[in-house]
Amino acid sequence: MPPLALPPGLKRLGPALIALLLVLIGIVSRPLIPIDETRYLTVAWEMRHADTWLYSHLNGANYSDKPPVLFWLINLVWSVTGPNEFAGRLTPALFLPVTVFLTGVLGRRLGGEAVGARAGYVAVGTVAFATFSSLVMFDALLTTAALCGIIGLVDAARGKRLRGFVMVGLALGIGALIKGLPILIHVLPIALLAPFWAPRPQRWTVWYAGILGAVAIGLVIGLGWAFWAQTAGGPPLRSLMVDQTAKRMVGAFTHGRPWWFFIALAPALLFPWWLSRNFWRGVFRRDPATDERRIFRLCWIGAAATFLIFSFISSKQIHYVLPAVPLLAIGLAGLTCPAEQKAEVLFAPAMVLAGLVALALHFLPQTVGAPVSLWCGAIVLTGASFSWLFRDRLGWSGLATGISLFLAVHFAAATGTLTDQDSSWAAARLRERTGAPMAVIGSYEGEFGYAARLTKPIEKIEVSQAATWRAAHPDGVVIEIARKAPLGGPYNEARPYRGGTLALWLPGVSALAATATAASDN
Averaged over successive runs of 10 residues, the pLDDT of the chain (522 residues) comes to: 52 89 90 89 91 84 86 95 94 95 94 88 92 91 96 94 95 93 94 91 92 95 85 65 54 65 88 84 64 81 93 84 93 75 81 83 59 77 86 81 88 72 86 88 88 91 86 88 71 83 81 44 40
Residue 441 belongs to domain with CATH number: 3.40.190
pTM, full prediction: 0.88
Q: What are phi and psi of 480, to 5 degrees?
A: -125, 130
Nearest 10 degrees: Cα torsion 175, 133, 253, 438: 110
Angle of CA points 212, 215, 221, to nearest 5°: 145
Question: Is the domain of 308 the same as that of 388?
Answer: no
Domain boundary among 322, 339, 356: 339
Q: Residue 255, Cα to own-chain centre: how many angstroms?
A: 15
> What residues have CB less than 8 Å from 474, skipping those under 6 apart?
507
Hey, how many other C-beta atoms are within 10 angstroms of the C-beta on 483?
12
* Structural domain for 377, as ranges: 343-420
Provide the residue count of the chain. Answer: 522
Does residue 126 contact residue 332 with C-beta atoms inside 8 Å?
no
Alpha carbon distance 396, 386 (integer Å): 9
Alpha carbon distance 12, 425 (integer Å): 42
Q: For residue 3, is it within any domain?
A: no
Q: For residue 2, is it within any domain?
A: no
Q: For residue 262, give the nearest of 299, 329, 308 by alpha carbon.
A: 308
Q: For residue 222, give the nearest of 395, 67, 399, 421 by alpha carbon.
A: 67
Domain total of the chain: 3
pLDDT of residue 459: 92
Question: Is the domain of 305 the same as that of 385?
Answer: no
> What residues have CB less than 8 Å from 4, skipping those under 6 apart?
11
Question: Is the domain of 407 the same as that of 431?
Answer: no
Q: For residue 476, is it within any domain?
A: yes
pLDDT of residue 3: 41
pLDDT of residue 490: 73
pLDDT of residue 516: 39
Q: For residue 144, give the nearest of 69, 231, 85 by alpha carbon.
A: 69
Domain boundary among 339, 354, 377: 339
pLDDT of residue 255: 58
Question: Is the domain of 223 the same as that of 237?
Answer: yes
pLDDT of residue 124: 93
Alpha carbon distance 435, 457 (integer Å): 10
pLDDT of residue 281: 76
Domain boundary among 339, 371, 393: 339
Q: For residue 1, is it within any domain?
A: no
Q: For residue 510, is it within any domain?
A: yes
Alpha carbon distance 338, 352 (integer Å): 26
pLDDT of residue 465: 85
Amino acid, res. 99: T
Question: Is the domain of 416 the same as that of 334?
Answer: no
Half-sphere exposure of 438 (CA within 13 A, CB side): 25
Question: Is the domain of 49 the same as that of 81?
Answer: yes
Question: Is the domain of 157 the same as that of 181?
Answer: yes
DSSP 184-204: HHHHHHHHHTGGGTSPSP--H
Element (H, E) at 245: none
Question: Is the domain of 294 the same as that of 355?
Answer: no
Hey, how many other C-beta atoms are within 10 angstroms of the C-beta on 384?
23
Question: Is the domain of 134 the same as that of 30?
Answer: yes
Nearest 10 degrees: Cα torsion 129, 131, 134, 135: -110
Question: Is the domain of 81 the same as that of 170?
Answer: yes
Question: Is the domain of 335 the same as that of 365?
Answer: no
Q: For residue 49, is it within any domain?
A: yes
Does residue 96 contact residue 19 with C-beta atoms inside 8 Å?
yes
Question: What does DSSP say about strands 459-461 and 438-442: parallel, antiparallel, or unpaired?
Answer: parallel
Question: Is the domain of 350 the same as that of 451?
Answer: no
Q: For residue 319, is it within any domain?
A: yes
Alpha carbon distance 325, 400 (integer Å): 18
Q: For residue 263, is it within any domain?
A: yes
